[in-house]
Amino acid sequence: MSIRRACLVLQLSLSVYYYKPKQKPEDIKIINMLEELAEKYPTYGFKKMFHMLRSMGYRWNHKRVRRIYIMMALNIRRKRKRRLPARVKTPHILPIDCNITWSMDFMQDTLISGKSFRTLNVIDDHNREVLMITIDSSLSARRITRELDRLIEWRGSPEVIRVDNGPEFTSAIFETWAKKHKIKICFIQAGKPTQNTLIERFNGIYRKELLNAHLFTELDQVRDQTQQWIWEFNNVRPHEALGNKPPVRFMTERRKTSFPSLIMDDYLKKDITFTNASI
């Protein structure tokens, strides 16, 4: 359809369609001056530019300069830092049994193609057992709560989860989920990763023994390798802090000593089944 016929259908005159507002000579001068200032001082906002124009001897009204400033899309988006409540330092006391305190943290790495991915690592503070490692290109707060629901369905709900001040953990979604399950979220102080030493130590081992030891081409490859590594970590790899015993063996012997009537075969089967399904 031609422009003339389209304007006829829309009941729009051709003069209105072809009309182009003429800029005043003064506006062109303001545009040129703002362009020069924006190129020379890219971090300056409107107020600084306006006062610099005034210092140069130009007496344009600030409303007029601001209108042109906004028209040129020079306004800088203000980034406000999210204020977090003060975190009280809490001692990192090792729990006397499993499923009392979990530690949780994120890691990041890249594939050969340069695509980055994240991992959500969850361990039990008592026997350092890897409960879950979720791997994906993006892990939102909703995804975290879904994965934790699956973990709780298999393992049971802990009393405390120790985390840092990441946006996923400080979100309203995660806070609501914790209140629903009656789980206390223990936040470390900002910039103090040493207050979450167990998960930080685990992250170093995971990166050294798997992420840095292999080159990955796709996420499924990372998941498969991680699945095998978790089983060896929990069932084979000796831990000095546990008397050179793997986590599952340490907990099995401890439970048999403390509770002779407790049978651990079902636990071991569930452990292997969940590990295979959770990655």
Instruction: Name the average pLDDT for the chain.
Output: 84
30-44, 118-132, 256-270 — most confident range:
118-132
pLDDT the model gives residue 84: 66
Domain range annotation of the chain: 16-71, 101-278
As a whole number, mean pLDDT of residues 140-156 equals 92
Looking at residue 62, its amino acid is H
Mean pLDDT, residues 67-87:
76
* Helix extents (H) in the chain: 3-9, 14-18, 25-40, 46-55, 62-71, 141-155, 172-180, 197-206, 219-235, 247-258, 265-278
> Residues 236-268: pLDDT tens digits?
888 888 888 889 888 888 777 655 444 444 444
Please state, in angstroms and as integers, the Cα–Cα distance from residue 13 to each residue in 1, 5, 18, 20, 21, following that order.
16, 11, 9, 14, 16
Pick the CATH number of 101-278 from 1.10.540.10, 3.90.79.10, 3.40.50.300, 3.30.420.10: 3.30.420.10
> What pLDDT is recorded for position 273?
39
Q: What is the pLDDT of residues 194-241, one digit of tens each?
A: 888 899 999 999 999 999 989 999 999 999 999 999 999 999 888 888
| Rounded mean pLDDT, 50-55 | 90
Q: What is the pTM of this model?
A: 0.64
